[in-house]
Amino acid sequence: MPQHPLQTASQLLHSLEQRRQRAVLPTRIAPFDRLQGGGLARGSFVELVGVRSSGRFALMTAALAAATRAGEAAALIDLGDHLDPRSAESAGVDLKRVLWVRPRSLKEALMSAEMVLAAGFSLVALDLGSGPIPLHRVPPSAWTRLGRAAEAHGGILLLLSPTPVRTAETWSTVTVSGARGVWQGHGDEPRLLAGIASRLTAVRRRGGHFEGTDLLTLWAEGV
């Protein structure tokens, strides 16, 4: 659980107001931020869709690093059980500011995400994993509650899924596709994997319709 110094009520309200005034959270992944209008919008529900090894988890890690670098509390609801704490720390994530939740079911994952959003966490990443997810069993009201919780508390909900959820509460959907290796080495030199290049396609449904694409390259240390 993130540790915070004791604050008076007025100090807490002031810090919350300052956070709300920062309209977006830049991830410092330029192609992603460009497609999001400068970064992840406060009070938004952003869907990040991609198969295993596409780069979607690295994007989520960059978002966690951005939030914790700014001194904010973040949470990872890790249904896929993908987090490697050492790799996350090397990518710039301050683990002392991250609540790591490892639910046993999709129902637990959704309930956990709603609870931590209501608790005031700045960024909540909900990773549904890479395997088949019974999304058809999730009632629309569950996504509505999550979207409204993010909006009401000024948090960011980043949903990672192998397939689109397609809920009306989603502000934008970013699809990561066409992943290919970027290799280094010439002639008779051994080829070394330097990173992964993917294509980002973003569709923004709220705050003005927008659709765009960009090329994402994640170097080996950030993959």
> Tokens 């609540």 label which residue?
99
Neighbour count for residue 114 (Cβ, 10 Å): 20
pLDDT at residue 167 tops 90: no
pLDDT of residue 222: 46
Look at residue 68 in the predicted model and tell me its pLDDT.
97
Instruction: Tell me what percent of the residues of the chain surpass a pLDDT of 90.
Output: 47
More confident residue, 132 or 195: 132
| pLDDT above 80 (res 187) | no
Per-residue pLDDT at 16 = 53
What is the model's pLDDT at position 15?
56
Q: State the Rg of the chain over Cα.
A: 17
DSSP H helices, the chain, are: 9-21, 30-35, 56-69, 85-90, 106-118, 140-153
Which of the pair, 208 or 13, is modelled with greater confidence?
208
Whole-angstrom distance, CA of residue 202 vs CA of residue 212? 5
- Domains, the chain, ordered by start: 27-175 (3.40.50.300)
pLDDT for 133 equals: 79
Which of 30 and 14 is assigned the larger pLDDT? 30
CB–CB of 147/85 below 8 Å?
no
Beta strands at 172-184 and 45-49: parallel, antiparallel or unpaired: parallel
**pLDDT the model gives residue 21:** 46
pLDDT of residue 202: 85
Whether 192 has a pLDDT exceeding 90, the answer reads: no
What is the SS3 assignment for 74-103?
EEEEECCCCCCHHHHHHCCCCHHHEEEECC
The predicted model gives 22-30 an average pLDDT of: 87
Q: Stretch 29-42: mean pLDDT, rounded?
A: 90
Percent over 70 (pLDDT), the chain: 83
Report, as an integer, the average pLDDT of 58-69.
95
How confident is the model at residue 194, as a pLDDT?
64
Average pLDDT, the chain: 84
